Chain A
Amino acid sequence: MADKILAKDKLGEFLGKLQADYELHAPQEIEGKAQWAPLAQAEDALWEFSNTHMSPKEYFFPQTECMMRFVNQQDGEDGMVMHAEPELEGKRLLLNIRPCDAKAFSVLDMIFVQDEMTNDLYWKDKRDKTTLVGLACSDPCPTCFCTSMNCGPASTTGLDALLFDLGDKLLVRALTEKGEAVAEGLDEAGEAEAAAAEEQTKAAEAKITSEVGMDQVNARSVMELYEAGMWDRVYESCLNCGTCTYACPTCHCFDIQDETQGGEGRRVRNWDNCMSWLFTMHGTGHNPRGTKKDRVRQRFMHKFKYIPVKRGGEIGCVGCGRCVLLCPVNIDVRRVVNDMNA
């Protein structure tokens, strides 16, 4: 499908039409920060922001998610009865998602959606029913390093459509059938507009000054990296809190709990993280990641070595920089990976 054009002053009308088919969500200014929220009116959508404070992974992988409910009727004929949770009602559209966050979902698809026998139904249901309309970055942050992570300010992976903000109008590039449905009915863009989008992307790429090298990380064996001396310094200041993992768009570890009261209960899945010693604690009392060093190393090895090895070179990081900004002790992933690569 050819690129389309949408005048900004027609945005209200355009989103109004979408609202009939989709539940709309977009980054908005909430308490001075760009944060995801349901979009009530077109004017609330942000167009100038670096990225949202937290990633939108909560839309597909909520921090707390009920997986099923159960009633124990041991005395009755039915015994334990399990009830599935309702699926997502209707369709959802995330407007102005940054390309890095959409890319993160495509990485997570590789993990949550592998084959019919093991697909994560909860993730897949929401992914299938959600359309991702991205907004290309024109003004990346000093902490962005997407171009080092198989991504970029106008990366299309994981997106259904990509918007380029050209001032008074938007260039709309449909990428999938879902994206075409969104762009349907819009006027075709001219060559000059496509060129402007191209120009903007180049300028944005040039603004990304953080570089992270992966060549040596890729070349070295798992054990060589695992045993590297650098880990003795990286972990020193780490608090082993979960900030980096919860802010991260690709971190996806969880813990499943059954909560019961009387004869009823629910199975609930909650975010968990490799920084927590409890995450790997065995029932025997043995902990394979018993020290802080083990846990800190795990997070970086998982993203930059294990995932690439297991998933055909894909990286478990998209370079969004949230962890760099939020880590209470400034453990900078760029510095860590460059040390792994040194």
Chain B
Amino acid sequence: MEAVAEKIRETAAKLLSEGKVDCVIGYAQGSVPMRDYPYFAYTPEEAQNLTWSPFCCNNLANFLIRRPKGEIGKVAITAQGCVSRSIVGLIKENQIAREDVYILGVPSPGMVDRRKVAERFPLKTITEVTVDGEDLIVKGADFEERIPQKEVRRDNCYTCVQRNPVICDEMMAEEGPADWGGDIDKVAAPWEKLEPAQRWEAFVGEIDSCIRCYACRDACPLCYCHVCFVDESMPQWCGKTQDEADVATFHILRAFHCAGRCTDCGACESACPQGIKVRRFTSKIEKDIRELYDYTPGMDLEATPPLSVYRPNDPQEFIK
């Protein structure tokens, strides 16, 4: 990990000093344990603040969009498999141009879910978490424990199908093995065992604690609409209250908008202050897209996204 971080710093400093990019988007060490944060380095000196760790849980592709045009010029960005797939998606959806992004590819063994670590110490305050090889050393005022990272990774990092970047300009470490991944269909599996009424029950149970901060939406590189449907006001499309109907409307529509686009990066779940398993809402829709269209988002710059194409031989009558 430290070797990757060093390589990122070195490469970023070089790109910035040679003027090849105007900014490098990576991570810097956070002020609280297990929360490294998106960092923008504009100078070779600032590049020294860049890091790479198991605590890099945002999707940096998010910062390539939602910016006034011309605010930052050409950027370099650190990207593991899922983030590189998001970049592919953004290129295909005409949100960014390939030539404007210099991708520093990182193979990712997976990120740590800070909630899974915290759950091991209920009501205790974790003051420091350090990485020691494959383990974490977790410290508090009256405890110190060693936890294997593989026990506390984010859910999406267990089912990840693409740990190596799909596109990149320069690798920051050697690529991992090709068969290095999990079973993405496992995410949707629990839904498939349930009857519709049970699904609804499970769904409303999961969103019960939602505070509608929209961190899930705002952390997601798919959600780049200039005006999100929940923010439409003339006319207003979605109620603003905490009533189940309003909260459910947000989550259902958000999930549908991700269909055939989600790379399962887990940024939504990592951002949620309430620990809602947001990914699960999109999982069954994503599985349907994989099965019906034989399409996995963000894997290939040339493939056509299934929901943005019409074929005359479409089997369904209503579309003709």
Contacts and interface: CB of A to CB of B under 8 A. Distances in A.
Nearest to A326: B273
Contacts of A292: 66
A242 B212 contact: yes
Interface stretch (A96-104, A138-146, A177-185, A220-228): A138-146
A49 B212 CA distance: 26
Interface in B226-256: 231, 233, 236, 239-243
Contact of B219 (A34, A63, A142, A328): A328
A173 B40 CA distance: 50
Contact of B215 (A32, A141, A241, A335): A241
A242 B215 contact: yes
A327 B242 CA distance: 21
Given A48-B123, A237-B39, A330 B30 contact: yes
B119 interface: yes
A328 B125 contact: no
B242 A329 contact: no
A300 interface: no
A186 B290 CA distance: 68
B214 interface: yes
B153 to A, nearest CB: 18
A67 interface: no
A141 B233 CA distance: 41
Given A48-B123, A257-B240, A239 B37 contact: no
B31 A241 contact: no
Most buried by B among A64, A239, A241: A239
Given A239-B215, A241-B218, A330 B241 contact: no
Given A239-B218, A270-B242, A277-B231, A324 B213 contact: no
A242 B250 CA distance: 15
Q: Secondary structure of the B side of the interface?
A: loop
A255 B275 CA distance: 26
A298 interface: no
A287 B270 CA distance: 31
Contacts, number: 113
Contact of B125 (A46, A141, A245): A141
Given A32-B118, A268-B241, A330 B214 contact: no
Contact of A330 (B32, B231, B273): B32
Nearest to A268: B241
A278 B231 contact: yes
Contacts of A245: 213
B202 interface: no
B243 A64 contact: yes
A240 B123 CA distance: 29
A268 B30 CA distance: 39
B31 A332 contact: yes
B58 A49 contact: no
Interface in B30-65: 30-32, 35-40, 58, 62-63
Interface in B181-234: 211-215, 217-219, 231, 233
Given A63-B242, A330-B35, A246 B58 contact: no
A243 interface: yes
B138 interface: no
Contact of A255 (B32, B218, B240, B271): B240
B233 A242 contact: no
Most buried by A among B123, B213, B214, B239: B213
A41 interface: no
A34 B123 contact: yes
B240 A270 contact: yes
A175 interface: no
A325 B32 contact: yes
Contacts of B273: 243, 246-247, 326, 328
A276 B213 CA distance: 9
Given A281-B233, A291-B68, A334-B31, A239 B40 contact: no
Contact of B211 (A48, A63, A278, A291): A63
A329 B37 contact: yes
A176 to B, nearest CB: 30
B234 to A, nearest CB: 9
Interface string A121-146: 00000000000000000010111000
A335 B31 contact: yes
A237 B127 CA distance: 24
A21 interface: no
Nearest to A255: B240
A32 B240 contact: no
A294 interface: no
Contacts of A54: 211
A109 interface: no
Contacts of B233: 278, 281
B309 interface: no
B32 A328 contact: no
B133 interface: no
B249 to A, nearest CB: 13
Contact of A64 (B36, B123, B213, B241): B241
Given A139-B141, A246-B273, 19 more contacts: A32-B118, A32-B119, A63-B212, A64-B242, A64-B243, A142-B32, A239-B215, A239-B271, A241-B213, A259-B241, A270-B240, A278-B233, A281-B233, A291-B68, A326-B273, A328-B219, A329-B37, A330-B37, A332-B30
Top-4 shortest CB links A-B: A328-B271, A330-B37, A242-B213, A241-B215
14 contacts: A32-B118, A32-B119, A54-B211, A63-B212, A142-B127, A236-B38, A236-B40, A237-B37, A237-B40, A239-B215, A241-B214, A241-B215, A324-B32, A328-B270
